[in-house]
Amino acid sequence: MNSPERFPASGGLKWQKVAVNWRAKQVIYLVEGRMTARDFQNKRTFPWGTSRRYNAYVDYLRQRFGERVQKVIVDAGFTCPNRDGRKGYGGCAYCNNDSFKPPYCRPGMSVKEQVEAGIEFLTRRYKVNRFIAYFQPYSNTYASLERLRELYEQALAHPQVIGLAVGTRSDCVDEEKIAYLQELAREYYVTIEYGLESPYDKTLQWINRQHDFRNWEEAVALTAGRGIHICAHVILGFPTETREEMLQTAKIVSRYPIDYLKIHHLHVVRGTVLAKWYQEHPFPLPGYREYVELAADFLERLRPDIKLQRLVGETHPRHLLAPRWGLRADVIQRHIEAELQRRQSYQGKHFTASQN
């Protein structure tokens, strides 16, 4: 499989500087007659109530809670079944959790101490008052229910924590654990984030995921309709997939009752199995312009009510092997928005219910 087949040349994309203050205002466009004069005056362009060309999770949180809400990352010391030998060893080929762990998550700190330190750090940085405790590294339901209760409730005991986000694998949940999260969701804002990565079993096998797409489907079905928000995580750029298969992923995830989605580009992080493979036998990765166009194409095919938590992956430069674009995630996100603007397009433009 060669790079030109997967990522065709740019269709005349012009990288012009857009004279827009991205934080304060955006260019407003009428979209298919959905926007009234009052909407235009209030800068409420799209069905999700903002002028942003995709349905952004950060905007949703602000609308829901009336202010900015920040995630505070917690490392509770979990592992994964494809890491500890229950299903395999080595973990997922791309994974190095140290590459995105914040400085306030230090070994030996309790959940309570991490939450307190994280809130202090984030309050100084962002001037926010409300937080979601994000259990992120590894599989955060991979323990007994008794242990999960102890850890989650340490985080929820902080008066500024309004909810939980729990990152995990689809093979690390069961009825008992989901029933407990359902119980918490009656009082708190609760999200479970299932790492899908790809809907193609050939890719899941290649990255040593040690579960198949069917297992992810079953976990989503177990969770849906119980007051728990569901987030999926996908990676674009695997050399096992064609560009069309990557775009088909948008249509596939749109069939399922998920609320949120994280999109990452495939990046090769030092200290991973993927890095070893890449150094021994380099495989094609999306170029920067190719990824911006791919992400825009993906968003056009995605169900419009799905909120996007992330459009691109990010790791510290000292951990990153490839691709080295030299740009922060927020800048890449703005370029994706600019590409949608250039096309006069938006999330869900090419989505139809009949496609599912």
What's residue 70's pLDDT?
97
For tokens 């008052």, the residue is 129
Three-state SS at 95:
coil
> Which of 326, 340, 327 shows the shortest CA–CA distance to 56?
340
> Is residue 42 over pLDDT 80?
no
- pLDDT range class, residue 7, cuts 50, 70, 90: very low
Q: Are strands 320-322 and 268-269 parallel, antiparallel or unpaired?
A: antiparallel
Residue 216 lies in a domain: yes
Q: Label residue 44 by pLDDT band (50, 70, 90).
A: low
Instruction: Give a yes or no: residue 257 inside a domain.
Output: yes
Residue with tokens 């993927």, as numbered in its chain: 274
Confidence of residue 105 (pLDDT cuts 50, 70, 90): confident
DSSP, residue by residue, 147-158 = HHHHHHHHHHTS
pLDDT tens per residue across span 157-180: 999 999 999 999 999 999 999 999
What average pLDDT does range 3-13 have in this prediction? 35
**What is the structure's pLDDT at 312?**
96
The confidence score (pLDDT) of residue 31 equals: 33
Strand order in the sheet with 260-265: 69-74, 130-135, 161-168, 189-197, 229-236, 260-265, 307-310
Q: What pLDDT band is residue 354 in, cutting at 50, 70 and 90?
A: low
Percent pLDDT > 90 in the chain is 81
Confidence of residue 201 (pLDDT cuts 50, 70, 90): very high
Please report the pLDDT score of residue 61 as a whole number.
97
- Encode pLDDT of 282-329 as tens digits: 999 999 999 999 999 999 999 999 999 999 998 888 999 999 999 999
Which of 244-254 are b and which e, b meaning 16 or more Cβ less than 10 Å from the residue's Cβ?
A: ebbbbbbbbbb
- Count of structural domains within the chain: 1
Give the residue numbers spanning the domain of 68: 51-355
Residue 188 in contact with residue 163, Cβ under 8 Å? yes
Tokens matching residue 69 = 């809400």
Q: Mean pLDDT across the chain, nearest whole number?
A: 88
Asked whether residue 129 is domain-assigned, the answer is yes
Closest CA to 332 of 300, 301, 286: 286
Give the integer Cα–Cα distance in Å for 302 and 114.
36
pLDDT on residue 316: 86
- Predicted local distance difference test score (pLDDT) of residue 156: 98
Q: Report pLDDT digits (tens) over 245-276.
A: 999 999 999 999 999 999 999 999 999 999 99
Q: What is the pLDDT of residue 356?
A: 52
* For residue 323, cis peptide bond before it (omega within 30 degrees of 0): yes
In a domain, 320, yes or no: yes
Q: Does 145 score more than 80 pLDDT?
A: yes
Whether residue 233 has pLDDT greater than 90: yes
CB 315 within 8 A of CB 102: no
Q: What does 25-67 look like in DSSP terms, one character per residue?
A: -------TT---HHHHHTT--STTSSSSSS-BHHHHHHHHHSS
* C-alpha of 197 from chain center: 10
Q: How confident is the model at residue 28 (pLDDT cuts 50, 70, 90)?
A: very low
How confident is the model at residue 25, as a pLDDT? Answer: 32
Query: Average pLDDT of 32-45?
Result: 46
DSSP conformational letter for 316 = -
Residue 114: pLDDT band by 50, 70, 90 thresholds?
very high
- What is the structure's pLDDT at 108? 84
Asked if residue 29 belongs to a domain, the reply is no
Task: Return the pLDDT at 265.
Answer: 97
Rg (CA), the chain: 20
Q: Is residue 97 part of a domain?
A: yes
- How would residue 355 be classed by pLDDT, with cut points 50, 70 and 90? low
- Mean pLDDT for 193-209 is 97
Residue 202 sits in a domain whose CATH number is 3.80.30.30
Please name every residue paired with 53 in a beta bridge, in sequence order, or none if there are none: none
Here the tokens at position 101 are 């762990």
Kindly state the average pLDDT of the residues 228-233: 98
pLDDT tens digit string along 117-137?
999 999 999 999 999 999 999
Beta-carbon neighbour count of residue 79 at 10 Å? 15
Cα(138)–Cα(166) distance, integer angstroms:
10
Q: For the segment 57-94, what is each residue's pLDDT rounded down to a tens digit? A: 999 999 999 999 999 999 999 999 999 999 999 999 99
In a domain, 6, yes or no: no
**Cα dihedral sign, 319-297-53-18:** positive
**Distinct helix (H) and strand (E) counts, the chain:** 12, 9
- C-alpha 177: how far from its chain's center? 22
Considering the domain boundaries, does residue 317 fall inside one? yes
